[in-house]
């Protein structure tokens, strides 16, 4: 089955700096790659997603890039703010039935 | 708009006890899911239901049973709880199987379960 590895497990950045979280996946048939943000005590919430026919997608300060050849995708957050502090999960999907999640990255934005 | 609602929020069980986690969604979604979240392991799929009346095993189904009572409700049952089932459980739903913009999975707030 699919295996998703996520790095780093923890990341601290100064407010205003950029943050990058990277994921690799094992199944070349995967074609859907969402990113979720989980705040303390809450359920994960989708922040951005990308399909395998697209190399990059942006939504304000958030962007995701996908390299199908290398089987990796990344989340980029620019101009980080304290409210960006949370756990971020990447995921990959071959079929719509199952998302395989990475192990999560705890992002801390320091004031 | 409540989205995905799950109960209870917190529960402590003794080893061997049984309990049912309830989940309901008001978005008219077809697919529903139960995940468990453990430190350093992300979210792992327990069971999945593509539509009313159908259920499928996920990555970690052992020790659990599910019921898709109707389109809105999907319950998770622990028949004989074990300490290894101490975890945070999330119910989720999705609008469509695999077309258009229907891939977004919406999660509930989570249920914290401790088995002692």
C-beta atoms of A96 and B40 within 8 A: no
What is the chain A residue with the closest CA to B37? A103
Question: Of A55-69, B7-21, B93-107, which range is least confident?
Answer: B93-107
pLDDT at B101: 46
pLDDT of residue B40: 78
Please report which confidence band the pLDDT of residue A65 belongs to, taking 50, 70 and 90 as the band edges.
very high
Asked whether the beta carbons of residue B107 and residue A104 sit closer than 8 angstroms, the reply is no
Residue contact A98–B48, C-beta within 8 A: yes
User: CB distance B94–A96 less than 8 Å?
Assistant: yes
Question: Vertex A14, ends A12 and A17: CA angle to 5°?
Answer: 105
Share of chain A above pLDDT 70, in %: 97
Taking CA–CA distances from B34, the nearest residue in chain A reads A98
Residue pair B27/B21 in contact (Cβ under 8 Å)? The answer is no
List CB contacts (< 8 A) between B98 and chain A: 95-96
Q: Are A11 and A107 in contact (CB under 8 A)?
A: yes
Segment among A19-23, A65-69, A93-97 with least mean pLDDT = A93-97
Q: What are phi and psi of A93, to 5 degrees?
A: -140, 130
Residues 44-73 of A with CB under 8 A from B: 44-46, 49
Each residue of B46-105: pLDDT tens digit?
Answer: 999 988 889 999 999 999 999 998 999 999 999 999 999 999 999 999 876 555 445 678
């Amino acid at each position: 089955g699919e295996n998703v590895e996520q790095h780093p497990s923890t990341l601290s950045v100064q407010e205003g700096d950029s943050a990058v979280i990277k994921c690799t996946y094992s199944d070349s048939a995967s074609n859907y790659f969402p990113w979720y943000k989980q705040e303390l005590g809450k359920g994960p919430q989708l922040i951005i997603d990308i399909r395998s026919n697209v190399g990059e997608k942006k939504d304000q300060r958030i962007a995701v890039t996908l390299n199908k050849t290398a089987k990796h995708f990344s989340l980029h957050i620019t101009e980080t703010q304290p409210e960006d502090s949370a756990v971020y999960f990447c995921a990959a999907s071959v079929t719509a039935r199952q998302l395989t999640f990475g192990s999560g990255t705890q992002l801390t934005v320091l004031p | 708009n409540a989205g995905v609602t799950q109960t209870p929020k917190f529960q402590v069980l003794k080893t061997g006890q049984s309990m049912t986690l309830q989940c309901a969604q008001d978005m008219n979604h077809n697919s529903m899911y139960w995940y468990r979240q453990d430190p350093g392991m992300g979210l792992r799929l327990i069971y999945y239901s593509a539509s009313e009346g159908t259920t499928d095993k996920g990555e970690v189904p052992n020790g659990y049973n599910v019921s898709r009572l109707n389109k809105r409700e999907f319950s998770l049952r622990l028949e004989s709880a074990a300490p290894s089932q101490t975890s945070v459980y999330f119910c989720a739903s999705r609008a469509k199987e695999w077309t258009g913009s229907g891939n977004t999975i919406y999660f509930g707030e989570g249920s914290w379960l401790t088995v002692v």
